[in-house]
Amino acid sequence: MREPVRILHAVVNMNRGGAETLLMNLYRSIDRNRIQFDFLTSFEGVYDDEIRRLGGRIYRIPSIRSGPKKYVKGLDQFFHEHPETIIIHAHMDKLSGIVLERAHKAGVPIRIAHSHNTSSEGSSLIKMYKWGAGKKIKFSATHFIACSKEAGRWLFPDQNDYLVLTNTIRTESFLFNKMNRRRIRVQLGLDETHTLFGHVGRFQTQKNHVFLLKRFAAVHASEPAARLILIGAGPLETELRKLASRLGISNYVLFAGIQEDIEGFLHAMDVFVFPSLHEGLPVSVIEAQAAGLPCLLANTITPDIDIQAGLCRFLPLSEPERWEKMMRGLALRRNERCSRLIEKKAGRFDSLQAAKDLQSFYESRVREAERYGTDYLYTNV
């Protein structure tokens, strides 16, 4: 029996972020007798133990934060020590250009750039560096994948041919469950008299938590039983806690950290609020809809995220009072009767079919590389 094809995924770490969650959904669903995932990372992640249980390998190199030269040296050393690498799949947006350039130099035949976003984060200097790194993608990638058309146009402005692989979830895991709701709300010290607004996302500028906290403060002023739960971690957490204190809502905002039982927390919520400044195709919004949550979203997010179950509302960030009014109006009590409809509507975001499609994509590329040799360069998807 042939050994499984090993795919090397380049990420910062395997914590619960959008791209990382997508990868794990695909990894759990793919035929691991034929395809195995390995990970090139710079930091430990919450998914590391599960990856190893599934048969994956995790490699560490210095972070880009330690300096570009040290990062490039780490990449070169890795590829020198692992000449068996035939497919690298990079998920680092514009910084994928550096990863793929070094892979190209090392002779890795299949080099995939994957866009998960529509904008870069960081200071002007960092954005300038990322811009330069992003220019390398055109010349160092052999294949291009994006989570949405918008994400593809952003990272591959000169590339007309790229595969749109929609972000996916294991739908059945998120369908609403009353016992989950009751269990988590008891854990949080809440009962059914409380309206729980929620958000899942890393504490960084892109997610726009400052806007969310200010809107919640206004809602709480008129609805004292309202609560807000923020699931995630990140560099802005201390700053956001201070803001909650200044707004007088510290006792009503729950900073829950990184949670493995996302399904249970989504079931405990009443409204999902997501005012991001930019996104590709956020997995957390798909999960929230599968859980039956009404979702209030910034109109910066692609309408393709809507599963058409009547759960999404889009508003401009320039109209904060409309957000506050909509937050008050969206809260509702969900039940299991709507699960069948939601399961049907969310089917196009289910990871089982996406995993089959990606597996076919990988295997086709390997066959082509074997046919045409190690100098093979294929630029159409």
User: Nearest 5°: CA angle at 89, between 162 and 205?
Assistant: 85
Sign of CA dihedral 180, 181, 182, 188: positive
**Statement: residue 380 has pLDDT above 70:** no
Strands (E), 201-339: 226-231, 253-257, 271-274, 295-298, 312-315
Q: Which residues contact 371 (CB under 8 A, 6 or more apart)?
A: none
Contact 48, 377 (CB under 8 A): no
| Closest C-alpha to 258, from 53, 27, 20 | 20
- Compute the mean pLDDT over every residue in the chain, rounded to the nearest whole number: 91
What pLDDT, in 10s, does the model give residues 16-71?
Answer: 878 898 999 999 999 999 999 999 999 999 999 999 999 999 999 999 989 999 99
Measured in degrees and rounded to the nearest 5, phi and psi for residue 225 equal -85, 0
Q: Give whole-number Cα distances, 268 to 166, 236, 305, in Å.
A: 27, 25, 22
In angstroms, the CA 34 to CA 349 distance is 23
To 10 degrees, the CA torsion angle through 72, 206, 281, 290? 130
Model pLDDT, residue 340: 62
Could you tell me how far CA 304 lies from the centroid of its own chain? Answer: 15
What pLDDT, in 10s, does the model give residues 190-238?
Answer: 999 999 999 999 999 999 999 999 999 999 999 999 999 999 999 999 9
Q: What b/e sequence results for 74-109 when a residue is b if at least 16 CB atoms lie within 10 Å of its CB, and e otherwise?
A: bbeebbeebeebbbbbbbbbbbbbbbbbbbbebebb
Model pLDDT, residue 338: 59
In angstroms, the CA 372 to CA 379 distance is 14
What tokens does 297 get? 């979203």
pTM of the complete model beyond 0.95: no
DSSP single-letter state for residue 247: T
In angstroms, the CA 374 to CA 107 distance is 7
Could you tell me how far CA 12 lies from the centroid of its own chain? Answer: 13
Sorted by where each starts, the structural domains of the chain and their CATH numbers stand as: 5-168+350-372 (3.40.50.2000), 171-346 (3.40.50.2000)
What pLDDT, in 10s, does the model give residues 289-314?
Answer: 999 999 999 999 999 999 988 899 99
